[in-house]
Amino acid sequence: MSQVYIVFFKLFICLGLGFVLNKSRVLDMRGEKIMAEILLKAVLPFMIISSSQTQFSFDELRGMGAMFAFATAYYAVSLAASRMCYKKTRASDDEWRVMTTCTVFANTGFVGFPLMHALYGDRGLLLAAVFNLVYNAFFYTYGAHIISKKPRFKLSELFSSSVSTASIAAIVLFIVPWRMPQFVNSAISMVGDMSVPMAMMIMGSQLAAVDIRRMFFDWKPYLVSFVRLMLIPAVAILAVWGLEHAFTMQGDTAKVMVLMCALPCGSMNVLYAEKYDTAPDLSTRIVTMSTVLMMVTLLFWTWIVRNVL
């Protein structure tokens, strides 16, 4: 368990560095956007590709299949339940749409990939990549449909992300018998290793620019953050615990399943809310609050999965 605290200590150091750099005006919003582009289009794809170069085993392949089935069930059930419940609240039409997507679609990129890699190595990252593929399938279809209020969605957007392409490539590279030469994989890993400090520095800088007081006067960010950070992981751990007793799961598959459900609301919700003018201010406040609270809840759930699963 001490290893978990060490990992989180390293993450908080990088988070604090981003916070200080923003406050000292070294890193501003423009710098954040540039770093985010580099992270999403180069560094994360390299890290995902590197994770595929582990030794092939059918146990690993079964774990990836279990993750795919679990993620599909999670998104299908949570989308239906969230939409039904939020429509019954006092939230406006735009607000319940944003609350639904923020509840369901977490920050699998900036937080999920680096955290799974830091805690569970290449295997954890490969499982997270499978989860992220299902995320993309639901977000760019039904998720985009909810936010945009349009009756149709574009399947082409599923493959518009470098992370999606890298995830598919990583799965293929893991299955095929060929492996890259060590010096090539070492170079790819060197680039991918920048993902954790970069992601945490970006988040730290973003938190430094937030007016925390604005979040405390609306019930909606509280509700969504509670569901996203506490209720969904609690349901997930019960479901996974039951599955573990019914089916054999290898290694850390069950732990990664739960922790991928315990991540804060994703920034893509804000980008799409701004793009379609669907309560963008509320979306920003929800994502910000869940990101702040994540620093406590993620440590809690990591401790829980270590001791229960």
- Domain range summary for the chain, segments of one domain joined by +: 2-308
DSSP 106: B
Question: Per CATH, which fold does 2-308 belong to?
Answer: Na+/H+ antiporter like fold (1.20.1530)
Instruction: Provide the 3-class DSSP secondary structure of residue 265.
Output: strand
Q: What is this structure's pTM?
A: 0.81
Tens-place pLDDT, residues 151-167: 666 666 666 678 778 88
pLDDT, average across residues 4-27: 85
Per-residue pLDDT at 214 exceeds 80: no
Distance of CA 95 to the CA centre of its chain: 22
∠ CA 156-44-47, rounded to 5°: 120
Q: Which residue has the tokens 């830091």?
A: 118
In whole angstroms, give the CA distance from residue 249 to residue 110: 27
pLDDT the model gives residue 155? 62
In whole angstroms, give the CA distance from residue 120 to residue 70: 19
At 248, the amino acid letter reads T
pLDDT the model gives residue 26? 92
pLDDT the model gives residue 308? 84
Percent of the chain at pLDDT exceeding 90: 31
Split at pLDDT 50, 70, 90, the class of 3 is: low
pLDDT the model gives residue 277? 86
pLDDT, average across residues 275-291: 85
Tens-place pLDDT, residues 115-139: 888 888 888 988 998 898 888 888 8
CB 210 within 8 A of CB 288: yes
CB 136 within 8 A of CB 161: yes
In whole angstroms, give the CA distance from residue 165 to residue 168: 5
